[in-house]
Amino acid sequence: MLDRLRDIKHLALDLDGTLYLGGRLFPFTLEFLKRVKAMGIGRTFFTNNSSVATSGYVEKLRRLGIETNIEELYSSTTATLDYLRASRPELRRLFVLGTPALRQEFAENGFALHEATGERDADGGEPDGVVVGFDTTLDYKRLCRAAWWISRGKPFLATHPDAVCPTDEPTLLPDCGAICKLLAHATGVEPEAVLGKPSPAMLYGAAARVGVAARDIAVVGDRLYTDVALAQAAGAVSVLVLSGETTRERAGAAERPADFVLENVMELAELLAAARGGSR
């Protein structure tokens, strides 16, 4: 199995549940990143959480002690923006059901935002489509407007499919997938595209950015249905870590198991070193 790791040139690293949990950095994370860098292996930080701006993740990682830049971040927001540009360029005015940070990121990338609570904008326009993200500021009136436009036949896109967001707090955080289920149940319309993990477009976009083929990338994360499924769909190596959501029992019972099931990312650093002829 170590042969699968010998030619790995890049890691697609999930964040929450893999490198940290909530606001707590795992004690092995910085050493892991140091070892990977020393081996000459590149990295892209992957996240499905679209409630925070991509630049906000750079700031969070730096606060946790991980020096990075925006070019090393690839989020479900990035994947959605790339999809819109490549596949739906006619959708320029959007009703974005998401946090102010998400809406601002769309505006900064040249999209007009339909923000009216009535049927039309002040200039008489309608949205071309509806984009739904992880909205931690969810407002009922805005939820109703999203449902209205979807019911009127406007294209319906979702940044990612996660049902819940990981947290180290004693609560449950309904995520984008749960919000989309509500909208689909209310309108009878499913999203035409769900970006972010496990869509292979998520990995292809990041791979194109760094100039590495998907087969030479290892996707590392704590979820079977997003991280592992993404790797399998895109032809990458899948590495499941048990530091987050998935238990060993669930990993063992998976219909399509991950290539590697490890306790945490430090074990991956040891296997990468061994695959290259170094000591574990």
Query: Is the per-residue pLDDT at 279 higher than 60?
Result: no
Average pLDDT over residues 108-117: 88
Q: Is 128 helix (H, G, I), strand (E, B) or coil?
A: coil
Q: For the domain 3-48+197-275, what is the CATH code?
A: 3.40.50.1000
Can you give the residue ranges of every domain in the chain? 3-48+197-275, 89-194
pLDDT tens digits, 174-199: 999 999 999 999 999 999 999 999 99
pTM of the model: 0.88
pLDDT tens digits, 253-270: 999 999 999 999 999 999
Cα–Cα distance measured from residue 9 to residue 32, given in angstroms and rounded to the nearest whole number: 16
CA torsion sign for 149, 189, 147, 90 is: negative
The label of the residue with tokens 């949205």 reads 127
Cα–Cα distance measured from residue 45 to residue 19, given in angstroms and rounded to the nearest whole number: 10
Q: Which of 35-39, 70-74, 149-153, 273-277 has the lowest mean pLDDT?
A: 273-277
pLDDT tens digits, 76-94: 999 999 999 999 999 999 9
Q: For the domain 89-194, what is the CATH code?
A: 3.40.50.1000
pLDDT tens digits, 54-76: 999 999 999 999 999 999 999 99
User: In Å, what is the CA distance from 254 to each residue of 13, 45, 172, 200, 247?
Assistant: 21, 25, 24, 19, 11
Rounded to 10 degrees, what is the CA torsion of 164, 46, 79, 226? Answer: -50
Query: Is the per-residue pLDDT at 119 higher than 90?
Result: no
